[in-house]
A and B are shown apart, each in its own frame.
Chain A
Amino acid sequence: MKRWINFGLKNRLLMLVLAIVVMITGYMSYQKLPIDAFPDVSPNLVQVFTTTEGLAPEEIEKYVTFPVETAMNGLPGIQKIRSVSNFGLSVVNIYFEDSMDLYFARQLVGERLLEAREQIPEGFGEPELGPIATGMGLVLFYYLEDSTGMRSLTELRSIQDWIIKFQLQNVPGVTEVLGIGGYEKQFHVVINPHALLQYHVTLPQVIEKIKANNLNVGAQFIEKNSEEYIVRSIGLATSIEDISNIVINSEKGTPVYLKDLAEIEIGGAVRRGIQTRNGVGEVVAGMVVKLFGTNSSTVISAVEQSLDRLNKSLPEGLKIVPYYEQKSLVAACVQTVTNALLQGILLVVFVLFVFMGGIRPGLVVTLSIPFSVLFALTGMHLFGISANLMSFGGLAIAIGIMVDGTIVLIENIDRILKEPTKSESRIHEISRACVEVAKPVMFAITIIIVVFLPLLTLQGVEGKTFKPLAFTIALSMLGSLLFAILIAPAMSYFLMKEPDSKEKSNEVWIIRKIQEPYKKLVQFFIFKRIYAVLLAVVFIIVGIVVFPGLGSEFTPELQEGTLILRLAMAPSISLNKSKQLTMIVEKKLMRIKEISGVVSRIGRGEVGAHADPINSAEMYILLKPKNNWRVKSQKELKELIRKDLGETPGILTSFTQPIAMTIDELLEGIKADLAIKLFGDDLELLKQTADKIAAVVQTVNGAKDIQVDQIAGTPQLQIKINRQAIAKYGINVADAQSIIQSAIGGEIVGQVFEDIRRFDILVRFKQKFRDNKEDIEGLLVDGPNGLKIPLSQLASIEEITGPRQITRENNQRFITIQCNVSGRDIGSFVEETQRVINQKIKLPIGYFTTWGGQFRLQQEANKRFAIVIPLTIGLVFFLLFLHFNSVKNALLILLNIPLALVGGVVALWITGQNLSVPSSVGFIALFGIALGNGMVLVVYLNHLLREGFSMTQASIRGAVLRLKPVLMTALTTALGLIPLLFSAGTGSEVQRPLATVVVGGLISSTILTLLVIPAIYKWFAINVEKEVVSVD
């Protein structure tokens, strides 16, 4: 240690250069840091989407999902596969270990997808990888505003798909632009089946003819006069007229045109999602997806620039209006932490100058802040941690702590320099002062770093959220250690001077003011040690009394600044009805004073981001500026809106926020305490068994909110082909099915090209011939020799209720039974439930259950903590022991922990906050800081004892002399956190419990350090005589 300090002092200039280099590197790293709002907590997953228009969940599962899933089995680093087969859409989520590189994982999935493609029947869709993005990737949503009101939704959608989308996709960092709303333009050939009969043509013939009359070919070239002419035959249909005039048949020399059989018109594709706005009508919208790993803020501003350009080039009266931008959230978060950081620095600096009583020492200590921060930034850049609420929050928290080491050091230098010993050279004095305290400083800082280790073992969302914070704190502590040991001595040599002899022992007035009463107080406790013990006991009792009064939550909700009202409607609902209901709610919302607009998405648009069915709507609530609100916070506003909105029949509403919602979806998190997953093959049997299990769980004491997944609920019109009937008429199943498919659902038979824009041609029966069960029964199936048989003769047509979606995990269908537990401990509840279920329910063969839910997560976290925390304490104890070479001293310092806890608990109680993960993080930080403070004092007490002071003398003198550094480090730490405590900015709700705990704990532990430790030191003191003997 001594060597290091002397090295630093000797090479003072080098140290200065080093400091400047570190700071410049830090600044440059900062420029390069990706800036996000929050740490990205999305799971590491690759999504595979397959759209197959018109297919029911059962078919999607069988033909699409299953082949994709099986192809993915056995990939390296795979965690689990989960899939959802919806109407017309299959989504397979392949979750990988967090350590897997996303691009590598995508490559693996892509390779296997080739295999899967072969297994999927022709025409059942092409599986595609989702965008290269995470849950934080949806950075900007916009809609198209047409002030002329003249343009049709089809026209607007074409502008979105063919102009805006292309331009935005070119912006660097944008991986995908997904359109939704309006109608995708199609050319509809609406066939009148009676005309088919009358003109003696069949539907397959019509389809074939359209296909055969819509193409261009190339025919190489011809030579003419030494020149080559490329031969090209143009036969593509480019307009309604071209399609209308396709000749289908010719009767006695008279051509039968397509227009004789059908109406050809421009229409919209079948849609599974729309956007509405303000309860007024539909809009066309788009969402910009950011590439994984790019810098949110730069991507968003590039997109914005591009939007500006686009707005200028769009037709008159048309405007792109962004209605959600993650940028504002990023900006708000950065602002919150930057504010906290700056205010914290100001407060800390203020304290420093007041207590140091001089500009020079204050300056050296102050310099440790930029140094440590920039050092941490360099580290963040190296480890690939983005700048966000949590990582910067870590810096804000550490502001007050990172000066502590230097404070102790500089205070000692200051004190020794002020000592009237003239014989020593200044450099020697500084060296001596440094060496005196360097060891405890180093140990104190190391202990702070060590106590953050358990945080690094956190898993899942909490882990991803809080690890950056732990990392940056640890990094900045390391920076402050470097500064204190290497740079501060050098700095102090340049900046600090020996005081004029006149002002010797001239202590700062504030310390003088405190010192006197403090001395009396500490004397009282030292002489009546039992009172000190009593004080500590009272503290602990208060803590124990208050503790049960605290509520608990996992992690407080981050307020993203954007509210989403989520609507869940009946699963059987039609898109039109769903639109109607959504617009009713929109109208209601628009009446609320604070709301300036509402943009809702119903169902899903282009695949890639959402897979919601049409019974769900997400309403983005656009708010007026805060000064127009009746309430202060977003949370209160939410309640207000909930109240004003009231109940809406047939709709379940819940509030959420954009990022939280997306990530929840990706995690497919279960919020209940206990989730029993029942795996099995038969949907009906699954449902029945799950209901039985639920009934049994109900009987267990403590069970609450029992819920079984609703897997059914979508009405189906099931057409079952009767094989005997079709055999009688000599008809194939495929003949019947192709009529069913193209007549009812429609068939894409080609494309119309308008320059490079291409639009599908859809052949379908006129609506009145396919609208209800009777009509469908009357559809004529062509048999051999002009035979025509109505479908009702060939198939049974039934209305049934089918599954609304089929969810699978690890290649098996499952259903979830969820419940909460109240009034008893979960462990015993789970045990009892398992026993009862085993007794009462016999699962069908091949069926099995898995038990999970929040309780599992907590159990795992507890198990980990049960190992890691004692380990950490052991390690801390070991470090303390290493430093003091005394078990007693180490124990004395560990005594800080319960007393620090009390302060934190009481502070939470007073401010009405809950125990949560961030408050736990606060407790952890608190231990480190409290231990450090205790160390500084105990080291000095030992020092005095060794110098030959009596126990009582040493206790009093040590306490009084150490009052200043102890108070200063505590004050700087606490004041550094004050801005976080009072901040109301975005993201502050996560930082606040943490700051509260640290500030509260610091108060109680400082009281302990200053009053109790000197008093009870006697019982924990080192044995000086023995030591002297053994050392010598």
Chain B
Amino acid sequence: MKRYLTKFFVYLIIFSMFLSINTLAVDKEQNEDEHDMHEEKAVVHMDDKTLKEFGVKIKIAKSGWVNKKGQFPGEIRIHLDYLAHITPRFPGVVKKIYHHIGDTVKKGDLLATIESNDSLTPYKIASPISGTIIEKHLTLGESIEANSHAFEIADLNTVWVTFSVFQGKIGEIKQGQNASIQSSNGKDQINGTISYVSPIVDPQTRTQMGRIELSNKNQRWKPGMFVDVNVVYSSIKGKVVVPNTAIQKIDDKPFVFVRKGDAFEPHPVNLGASDEKYVIVKSGLKARTEYVSDGGFILKAEIQKNSMDDDHSH
């Protein structure tokens, strides 16, 4: 009996072994399959067809300019040098009015006849400048005081654009800089030069006032209109300037992909000044090399492929 029992246990053990080996099954092959593309490769190869398919664009590195720009909200104002306030010398009664609001007058044109209260003699007032009557504060028969504003005449052939410079850009805006003025609806556009920058900052709004003199022959720019003022306040020349789209960040550091035949290699670069479209490459990219100016994301993604998988742990 004992002998048989021993035998029984031998079988039992063999049996259990069979099963345990059996349950040790792991899918090794599958795992290998998943990981075989994991070798690190910094160079990406891509043929012209694929480049086109993925919208990868290539340019040759060259020098260029980077323009620092600012856009400021502004308003068309009457140029104070071309504005005339006409006031009667003596108090009196308005006898006659020759021009009305909106009329264009020339220098020396008669505006009104007023009978002086003192001398009871009529005297005439004339326009000191050529311009448009923008305000008129007298009516026939009205008795008006001396020093009251009878007419306001503005020469709108020249207007001012005033704009506010907010903190941060104060100091960058200087007299003599070129500016482009755009109407709010975006339809009209004109260039001008900054003629004046206020030396002080408004303590209330903490803004600085800038001013541009505009020639306004066709009178398209009406005082009171809101405009946007774009100023290029500094231009920097760079030996190598690339579009912003050429910069790819890998591990938070900037890179540019350089082409060698069908191979693309990320070159670490040092960046200088930039504007909304271009950036200066201080080092890392030599002039006249072919680089990826747009669509480099796909190359970066290809390099980073190994860190992308098993992203589905949610």
Contacts and interface: CB of A to CB of B under 8 A. Distances in A.
Interface stretch (A24-32, A270-278, A509-517, A668-676): A668-676
B26 A570 contact: no
A665 B312 contact: yes
B14 interface: yes
Contacts of B251: 801
Interface residues of A, number: 93
A655 B298 CA distance: 22
Nearest to A792: B168
A873 B12 contact: yes
Interface in B172-193: 184
A820 B38 CA distance: 14
Interface string B249-283: 10110000000000000000000000010000000
B15 A654 contact: no
A570 B15 contact: no
Nearest to A873: B12
B40 interface: no
A649 B301 contact: yes
B314 A552 contact: no
10 nearest A-B residue pairs (beta carbon) = A650-B301, A552-B25, A570-B301, A705-B35, A194-B73, A84-B314, A650-B298, A710-B307, A649-B302, A611-B314
Contacts of A673: 26, 31
Interface in A886-924: 887-888, 891, 894-895, 897-898, 901, 914-917, 919-920, 923
B19 A923 contact: yes
Given A197-B73, A553-B30, 17 more contacts: A91-B314, A552-B26, A570-B304, A571-B311, A581-B298, A611-B314, A616-B311, A652-B305, A665-B314, A671-B27, A778-B71, A793-B168, A858-B24, A865-B16, A869-B19, A915-B25, A920-B19
Contact of B206 (A671, A777, A787, A888): A787
B189 to A, nearest CB: 15
A873 B16 CA distance: 9
B250 to A, nearest CB: 10
B5 interface: yes
A873 B15 contact: yes
Interface of B: 1, 4-5, 7-8, 11-12, 14-16, 18-32, 34-35, 37-38, 44, 46, 50, 53-55, 71, 73, 75, 164, 166-169, 184, 204-207, 226, 228, 249, 251-252, 276, 297-302, 304-305, 307-314
A785 interface: yes
Contact of A568 (B54, B73, B204, B309): B309
A788 to B, nearest CB: 6
Contacts of A613: 311
B29 to A, nearest CB: 7
7 contacts: A554-B25, A654-B309, A710-B308, A820-B28, A858-B26, A865-B23, A914-B25
A323 interface: no
A905 B170 CA distance: 85
A858 B249 contact: no
A673 B24 CA distance: 11
B313 A807 contact: yes
A185 to B, nearest CB: 27
Contacts of A865: 16, 19-20, 23
- Most chain A beta-carbon contacts within 10 A, residue among B31, B205, B302: B31
Given A612-B312, A788-B207, A865-B20, A897 B50 contact: no
Contacts of A709: 310, 313
Contacts of B308: 568-571, 615, 652, 710
A240 interface: no
A571 B204 CA distance: 46
A713 B307 contact: yes
A873 B276 CA distance: 78
A192 B73 CA distance: 11
Given A571-B311, A616-B312, A801-B252, A916 B19 contact: no
Contacts of A715: 249
B302 A790 contact: no
Contacts of B30: 553, 671
A929 to B, nearest CB: 16
Contacts of A785: 204
A573 B297 contact: yes
Contacts of A920: 19, 22-23
A195 interface: yes
A920 B21 CA distance: 10
A772 B276 contact: yes
Nearest to A1020: B4
A86 B184 CA distance: 40
Contacts of B313: 84, 668, 709, 807, 816
A800 B252 contact: yes
A789 interface: yes
Interface of A: 84, 86, 91, 192, 194-195, 197-198, 547, 551-554, 568-571, 573, 577, 580-581, 584, 611-613, 615-616, 649-652, 654, 664-665, 668, 671-673, 704-705, 707, 709-710, 713, 715, 729, 772, 774, 777-778, 780, 785-790, 792-793, 799-801, 805, 807, 816, 820, 822, 854, 858, 861-862, 865-866, 869-870, 873-874, 877, 887-888, 891, 894-895, 897-898, 901, 914-917, 919-920, 923
Contact of A891 (B4, B54, B312): B4
Contacts of A792: 168
Given A553-B27, A891-B8, A870 B22 contact: no
A499 to B, nearest CB: 44
A671 B24 CA distance: 14
Contacts of B20: 862, 865-866
Contacts of A573: 297, 301
Given A570-B301, A668-B313, A894-B11, A780 B19 contact: no
B233 to A, nearest CB: 13
Contacts of B312: 568, 612, 616, 664-665
Contacts of B44: 649
B226 A891 contact: no
A788 B305 contact: no
Given A665-B314, A713-B307, A869-B15, A195 B184 contact: yes
Nearest to A777: B168
Contacts of A894: 8, 11
- Most chain B beta-carbon contacts within 10 A, residue among A650, A709, A801: A650
A898 B15 CA distance: 7
Contacts of A707: 35, 38, 310
Contact of A570 (B14, B73, B297): B297
B311 A198 contact: no
Given A551-B29, A652-B309, A793-B168, A877 B8 contact: yes
A897 B73 contact: no
A898 B18 CA distance: 9
